[in-house]
């Protein structure tokens, strides 16, 4: 049984794996080329939103279990390291544009009742929530499961928890390569890691999908987040509201923001007129790791004994990280393989 683990990458996935390993009493070292949250985890949105509850499948069940457990999981991180990750189960409202959307929402309410555990559920309501957004029908789909997390604070909280549990987080270590690392290694290296994996396997394992997001100065700390027109509008606890995100397959600079973000902010102001005069205090871009399957990707690195991959968080990496961490900790510490079908690196 491995008791000394190296995790490469201090994004939410690598840090979550390291935290789960450290709290089980094993020695863990995180090695990061840049700094904590240098990759796609260093953003601002932090929606922990469930998949649609209809057409249920095992992938949705794994995500549901992770979202249900998230409140206690992040409370444990906060208690261990003393840093607040900004978690809040504040729910979500979706304005319903027409009768067809109202009918679909009512079906969704029934599906949530079938597939989600109590007390979580959905309801069609005329309550716009505390961050009002007009609805053409006057109706909204509300859910009580969706939560928020502050991505940068969450990474800082995880790093603090790892250190408090006796692990180390080495920032500024430069890009790691397999020949630099002994023993058991988890590669949680996000989009660059998918490129490395693709090169090594000689086939496409995944790719990066760029996203841009903005942070507005607007205090609505207890308000439910809004999902409308494909936009996430997420009030955080620190007097900010995040707007996300673009989704770009073709890009030259993964870290640059441009007019697409201006358009996103303009749309968010139309959806929630209360944000009309809120200043943009942060504009950010990052590259999401998208596996070919679009699902998280876990397992042994083919041909590299003792090396493992934890990647593919794509658009829900913060929601999935606790589940991925538990699966990876079981795998590397005791050899127990609980990787769900569809998440396995073949």
Residues that bind ligand FAD (CB under 6 A): 8-14, 31-34, 38-41, 43, 45-47, 175-176, 188-190, 192-193, 211-213, 232, 244-245, 286, 288-289, 311, 313-319
Distances (CA, A) of 336 to 8, 238, 245, 306, 327: 21, 40, 37, 14, 8
DSSP letter at 344?
B
**Cβ atoms of residues 136 and 95 within 8 Å:** yes
Residue 206 burial (C-beta neighbours within 10 Å; 0-12, 13-18, 19+): buried
Least distance between ligand FAD and beta carbon 299 (Å): 15
> What are the structure tokens assigned to 181, written together?
């690392």
CB of 46 to ligand FAD, least distance (A): 5
Name the nearest CA neighbour of 115 among 49, 60, 48, 66: 60
Read off the tokens for 335: 């050899």
Task: Tell the smallest beta-carbon distance from residue 126 to ligand FAD (Å).
Answer: 27
Helix axis angle, 12-23 to 317-334, nearest 10°: 40
Q: Is the CB of 105 or the CB of 243 nearer to ligand FAD?
A: 243
Residue 132 CB, nearest approach to ligand FAD (Å)? 21
Q: Which is nearer to ligand FAD, 78 or 152 (CB)?
A: 152
Task: Work out whether strand 184-187 and strand 307-311 pair parallel, antiparallel, or are unpaired.
Answer: parallel
Rounded to the nearest whole angstrom, what is the least distance from the CB of residue 56 to ligand FAD in the complex?
A: 20
CB 134 within 8 A of CB 95: yes
Count Cβ atoms within 10 A of the Cβ of residue 341 and give its class: 0-12 exposed, 13-18 middle, 19 or more buried: exposed
CB of 138 to ligand FAD, least distance (A): 28
Nearer to ligand FAD, 38 or 133 (CB): 38
Count of C-beta atoms within a 10 Å radius of residue 34:
15
Smallest separation (angstroms) from ligand FAD to the CB of 301: 13
Nearer to ligand FAD, 135 or 213 (CB): 213
Give the nearest residue (CB) to ligand FAD.
317
Of residues 45 and 241, the one with the C-beta less far from ligand FAD: 45
Nearer to ligand FAD, 112 or 215 (CB): 215
Alpha helices in 182-308 (DSSP H): 190-201, 259-271
**316 alpha-carbon distance from chain centroid:** 4
Minimum CB distance to ligand FAD smaller for 81 or for 139 = 81
């Amino acid at each position: 049984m491995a008791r000394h683990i190296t995790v490469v990458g201090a994004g939410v996935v690598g840090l979550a794996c390291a935290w789960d390993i450290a709290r089980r009493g094993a020695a863990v070292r995180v090695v990061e080329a840049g700094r904590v949250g240098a990759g796609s985890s260093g953003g601002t949105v932090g929606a922990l939103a469930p998949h649609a509850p209809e057409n249920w499948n095992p992938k949705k069940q794994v995500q549901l279990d992770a979202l249900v457990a998230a409140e206690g999981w992040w409370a444990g991180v906060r208690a261990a390291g003393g840093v607040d990750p900004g978690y809040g189960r504040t729910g979500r409202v979706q304005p319903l544009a027409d009768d067809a959307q109202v009918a679909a929402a009512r079906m969704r309410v029934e599906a949530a009742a079938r597939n989600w555990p109590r007390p979580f559920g959905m309801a069609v309501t005329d309550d716009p929530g505390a961050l009002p957004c007009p609805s053409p029908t006057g109706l909204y789909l509300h859910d009580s499961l969706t939560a928020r997390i502050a991505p940068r604070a969450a990474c800082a909280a995880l790093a603090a928890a790892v250190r408090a549990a006796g692990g180390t987080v080495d920032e500024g270590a430069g890009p790691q390569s397999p020949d630099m690392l002994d023993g058991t290694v988890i590669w949680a290296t996000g989009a660059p890691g998918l490129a490395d994996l693709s090169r090594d396997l000689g086939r496409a394992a995944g790719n990066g999908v760029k996203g841009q997001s903005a942070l507005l100065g607007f205090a609505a700390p207890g308000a439910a987040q809004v999902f409308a027109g494909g936009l996430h509008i997420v009030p955080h606890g620190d007097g900010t509201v995040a707007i996300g995100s673009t989704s770009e397959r073709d890009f030259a600079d993964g870290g640059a923001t441009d007019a697409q973000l201006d358009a996103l902010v303009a749309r968010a102001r139309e959806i929630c007129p209360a944000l009309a005069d809120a200043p943009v205090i942060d504009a950010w871009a990052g590259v999401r790791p998208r596996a070919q399957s679009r699902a998280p990707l876990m397992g042994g690195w083919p041909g590299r004994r003792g090396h493992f991959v934890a990647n593919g968080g794509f658009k829900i990496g913060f929601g999935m990280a606790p589940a991925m961490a538990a699966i990876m900790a079981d795998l590397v510490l005791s050899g127990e393989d609980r990787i769900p079908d569809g998440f396995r690196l073949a």
